[in-house]
Structure 1
Amino acid sequence: MKKYSFVWTLAGLGLAVSMSLTALPSMATEHQHHGVNTVELQLNAGQKWQTDAPLRQAMRDIGAAVNSAYDAIHNNQLDAVGYEKLAAEVNQQVAYMIENCELEPAADAQLHIVIHRMLDSAQVMEKPSAIEEKREGAVQLIGALESYAKYFSDADFIKPAH
């Protein structure tokens, strides 16, 4: 995909390459009703979508952060600071993807479904709320990572184990 396509498609989510990391979660909120969560991910004619190095790196970093916190999340032992750190990692890596990822347009459109779900989950984890709600955000993030593993070609990605 050409970089302009990625930026153009991100505009549909209300994101811009030059935005600050703190703006990412609020932008996700503004656009949560645009049908992204109701759109189904699809394979590319029965095959996983191709990825590029920046996307793979960012997703591996998010996956590593989730995997390192997975037991604490699963056992209801992660505290608010842990959820906030996880959300910050998601926001940082999504910003990296936005700046560096270059996918073909159809793959890009599919990726945006995953990105939206990840940003939604980060927003839930970082807002002042009960730990149970933050945990639900982490569970949503795990689901987004599982979708990435199912629909995108990334042999080195380690999805959260459960």
Structure 2
Amino acid sequence: MIAACAPAAFAATPASGAHAHEQAAGSPALRLDHGRKWATDAPLRQGMARIRGLVAPQLAAAHGGRLEPADYAALATKIDAEVAAIVKDCRLPPEADGVLHVVLGELLAGTGTLAGRTAGATPVDGLVQVVAAVNTYGRYFEHPGWKPLAEAH
């Protein structure tokens, strides 16, 4: 049985209600598929590659203090759009879908912080969250040629 990566409501409201589907399914956790990374499909690989491609060039500027709040917010908007496309287009078996929900939830938490929607946190904190989520994806999902992002800040 093939399941969508997330329900339509998840795509429509990425920053809120993101975990409704996974909670109903029993709160999935990050785990491997019997010791192996989960299989992916083309929409997932393409979307995650685009997210990585959006984040990677911003890291040096962020580390150098050269990004403004508007730059972080724009990055959040672009990442949110990619997450919505993944949700819309990718199809994974239910167990892999549940693990992916955890990663996408981490990404959306990070973009919320990037966009300034998390009280007491800075956009840099959001970038750290996004980088961690991108790297978590690479640890749990098979993606030929995937390279993690540098996490040091």
Structure 1 length-normalised TM: 0.78
Given the alignment of the two structures, is residue 24 of structure 1 paired with residue 14 of structure 2, yes or no? Answer: yes
CA apart distance, 1:158: 3.1
* Distance (whole Å) between structure 1 residues aligned to residue 124 and residue 89 of structure 2: 30
Count, aligned residues: 146
| CA contact 2:69–2:123 (8 Å) conserved in 1 | yes
Unaligned runs of 5+ in 1: none
Which of 100, 117, 122 aligns to 1:133? It is: 122
SS at match of 2:95: helix
Residue type at the aligned position of 1:16 = A
Taking only aligned residues, the RMSD between alpha carbons, in angstroms, comes to 2.6
Q: Which runs of 4+ in 1 moved over 3 A?
A: none
* Distance (whole Å) between structure 1 residues aligned to residue 11 and residue 28 of structure 2: 27
| CA contact 1:26–1:123 (8 Å) conserved in 2 | no
1:106 to 1:69, Cα distance in 2 relative to 1, 3 A: same
**Amino-acid identity (%):** 31
Given the alignment of the two structures, is residue 106 of structure 1 paired with residue 104 of structure 2, yes or no? Answer: no
Greater mean alpha carbon deviation, residues 38-47 or residues 80-89: 38-47
CA apart distance, 1:27: 3.5
Which of 97, 119, 122 aligns to 2:86? It is: 97
1:49 to 1:77, Cα distance in 2 relative to 1, 3 A: same
CA apart distance, 1:129: 7.3
Which structure has greater helix proportion? 1
Structure 2 length-normalised TM: 0.82
Aligned pairs for 1:6-155 (under 5 A) are: 6=4, 10-11=6-7, 16=9, 19=12, 23-28=13-18, 40-127=29-116, 133-155=122-144
Listed one character per residue, the Cα deviations across residues 99-129 of structure 1 (whole Å, up to 9, x for unaligned) are 1000111111100000000011111111267
